[in-house]
Chains A and B, each alone.
Chain A
Amino acid sequence: MIKILLMGNPNVGKSVIFSRLTGVRVVSSNYPGTTVSYTSGFMKIDNRLVEIIDVPGTYTLEPTCEAERIASEMLKTGDIVINIVDATNLERNLYLTLQLMEMKIPMIVALNMWDDTKHRGISINLEKLREILGIPVIPTSGLTGQGIKDLVTDISKAVSPPSPVRSRDERWSSVGSITDQVQQISHRHHRWFERLEDASVKPKTGIVIAAAVLACSFMVIRFIGEFLINYLFDPIFNFLWLPALMKLSTFMGKSGLLHDVIVGKLFDGEIHFIESFGLLSSGLYVPFAMVLPYIISFYFILGLLEDTGYLPRLAVLLDTAMHKVGLHGFAIIPSLLGFGCNVPAVMATRVLESKRERFIAATLISIAVPCASAQAMIFGLVGKYGGQYVAIVYATLLLVWIILGILLNRMLKGFSPELLIEIPPYRIPPWGTVMQKLWGRTRGFLIEAVPIILAAVLVINILFVFGIFDYIAAFTAPVIKGVLGLPEESVTAIIIGLLRKDAALGMLALSAMTAKQMVIGSVVLTMFFPCIATVIVLFRELGLKDFLKSAGIMLLSSMTAGGILNVIL
């Protein structure tokens, strides 16, 4: 099958065009480095099925990070290249175009962001550009869909005109002469949000804006999350699901092994959604009514932040601080992604330049950035003792992130590379994309998390019957009791936490614990190993040796943090 690659500089709209061509929804955001691995999709051209591939963005074919390395590798496997070019940044983009043409692979150019050229005062002579390059050039807009049809019809016209291999400087001078011939830029006035653009990277205004954006985001996430729980999910479970489940419980005789696995244990004849621990009670309530609302609200706000283009500005603002933990400012983006799910967060560290930086970022994310499930656990368990205890958990995690980062930065050989990123213009997030992205991520959670949670509930119930946990509890008691001051039975929760944090929630809730013990339990559960999915990704991204190192750090730091809390609280 013919393989068509979508290649171009970062943040030019490759993923948006990929989605339009194939119907496969991939994440697109307004910052360079959104796509870090390749996705393939299919479409029909002249009744023939072809494969289309969304490739990570790259400025040149000499890679500077893992994501760009993947892009250069991909090029070898393609038959045709659709080179996506940002029409508002012709000069910089054409460099890659010339480099691609030297690779002697048939290609066409999509001049994307065409809708944006007019009010930026840019006019491009298409005929002339086609003539000079000798390949089809199609103006497109990923935003409106303009030109996408023409792009599809012209794929068959892809050619590879003779093109001399040039040196870097020769290429730049060709680029310069091409832009001089085809592009005209007229002066125009600053739009109001371009002023805002600059304000967010100036020291004083930048800090005020960052504080406001982060505080608002946090409040809105909580507000939407709680709103969904109180007015949608809780009522559904309490008024619709509970009565049905009670009927089932009565029908099954209110006790017995099968009853307890399916409905869960009754407390004073009642089903308790968190503690009953049956497939149809906790197994559904935890993912749907406790985690899902926060997944929805978090990813909604994250999507807005991503699509406006604010995040790279936050990276600039935090750069100096991030260097203290051995990272540069851009690492804040993977870290923020981690508050939703650690898996894409660890993947996103691929945009960082050095192995050292990736190791530090991935380790810190796995240890000290609680994903939505872990946060649901923290709020669900610790929250009932009062907000101050939740604050202690978050403060501890932040402190761990900082201290561990400083230590890693001191101990690991090498230094942290410097920030070098393109700051995209602010864009008004298109509603459609925001909603589609939200749906894609929510669906991802439902498909990946719910089956694991249900399986975990099932397995735990079975293991309980055989008393397996008693053995393990007895075995680990010295650490759990002695160092952390937790009751023996909480070890079950910690073990389940290896699978998923939310599955462990009910287990911790079951054991009678004081507020202090809950705080320690949640901190240890969050820090000591991420969930199984993250472990797999971490292993894949870091390799065995670094993974083992990272795992050792997790164990050590979680026990240290738990032990210290046990002493000082």
Chain B
Amino acid sequence: MIKSLNDMNPEESGRVCEIKGGQGLINRLNSLGIRTGKKITKVSSMLLHGPVTIQIDRTKVAIGFGMAGKIFVEVDKQP
């Protein structure tokens, strides 16, 4: 099932399948290791449209709500 990072539940994981944004956004996300094909696990999201924290390889990255909504993940593992 494909979900945006915002719609994923904590501890769900999957592979990034699409980043819906301009080159600028893709560049920035890529530089932090977030790119299509990467396996990620959602750690948490803050209340009131707060940032989403994900685990990617051995790093954690926090992504603002708006940006997180543009990242789509093919979820393959429910907690």
Contacts and interface: CB of A to CB of B under 8 A. Distances in A.
Interface string A55-99: 000011010100000000000000000000000110110010000
A328 B64 contact: yes
Contact of A198 (B31, B44, B46): B44
A422 interface: yes
Contact of B58 (A88, A312, A316): A88
Nearest to B50: A320
Interface in A285-341: 312, 315-317, 319-320, 328-329
Interface residues on B, range: 20 to 34
Nearest to A415: B66
B46 A89 contact: no
A422 B59 contact: yes
Given A91-B57, A320-B49, A422 B43 contact: no
B47 A203 contact: yes
Contacts of B32: 59, 92, 420, 422
Interface string B46-62: 11111101000111111
Among B49, B59, B65, B66, chain A packs the most CB atoms within 10 A around the CB of B59
Interface stretch (B1-9, B12-20, B22-30): B22-30
Contact of A172 (B35, B46, B51, B59): B35
A111 to B, nearest CB: 14
Given A60-B27, A172-B35, A329-B51, A319 B66 contact: no
Contacts of A329: 51, 62
Contacts of A89: 33, 57-59
B62 A420 contact: yes
A197 B60 contact: yes
Contacts of B57: 89, 91-92
Contact of A320 (B10, B33, B48, B61): B48
B64 to A, nearest CB: 3
Contact of B46 (A64, A319, A418, A423): A319
A202 B33 contact: no
A316 B51 contact: yes
A420 B33 contact: no
A419 B51 contact: yes
A168 B49 contact: no
B68 to A, nearest CB: 9
Nearest to A120: B58
Given A92-B57, A201-B43, A320-B46, A168 B67 contact: no
Contacts of B28: 64, 420
Contacts of A425: 60
Contact of A201 (B44, B64, B65): B44
Contacts of A420: 28-29, 32, 61-64, 67
Contacts of A315: 62
A167 B49 CA distance: 35
Contacts, number: 99
A391 B65 CA distance: 35
A44 B33 CA distance: 37
Contacts of B53: 201, 316, 423
A95 B63 CA distance: 20
Interface residues on A, range: 35 or more
Contacts of A91: 33, 57
Interface in A483-536: none
A88 B66 CA distance: 29
Contacts of B50: 203, 316-317, 319-320
A422 B58 contact: no
A421 B32 CA distance: 8
Contacts of A203: 44-47, 50
B62 A421 contact: yes
Contacts of B67: 418, 420
A198 B53 CA distance: 9
Contact of B33 (A92, A197, A198): A92
A329 B59 CA distance: 19
A206 interface: yes
A317 B62 CA distance: 10
Contact of A423 (B33, B49, B62): B62
Contacts of A158: none
A122 interface: yes
Nearest to A179: B57
B51 A62 contact: no
Contacts of A319: 46, 50-51, 62, 64
Among B28, B45, B60, chain A packs the most CB atoms within 10 A around the CB of B60
A198 B61 contact: no
B61 A421 contact: yes
B38 to A, nearest CB: 9
B62 A312 contact: yes
Contacts of A198: 43-44
Given A201-B44, A201-B60, A418-B51, 18 more contacts: A60-B27, A88-B58, A89-B33, A89-B57, A91-B33, A95-B31, A198-B44, A203-B44, A316-B46, A319-B62, A320-B48, A320-B49, A418-B65, A419-B63, A420-B28, A421-B61, A422-B60, A423-B53
Interface of A: 59-60, 62, 64, 88-89, 91-92, 95, 120, 122, 168, 172, 197-198, 201-203, 206, 312, 315-317, 319-320, 328-329, 417-423, 425
18 contacts: A89-B58, A92-B32, A168-B27, A172-B35, A201-B43, A201-B44, A206-B44, A206-B46, A315-B62, A320-B46, A320-B47, A418-B65, A420-B32, A420-B63, A420-B64, A423-B53, A423-B59, A423-B61
> Which 3 pairs across A and B sit closest by C-beta, in order of nearness?
A418-B64, A59-B31, A423-B60
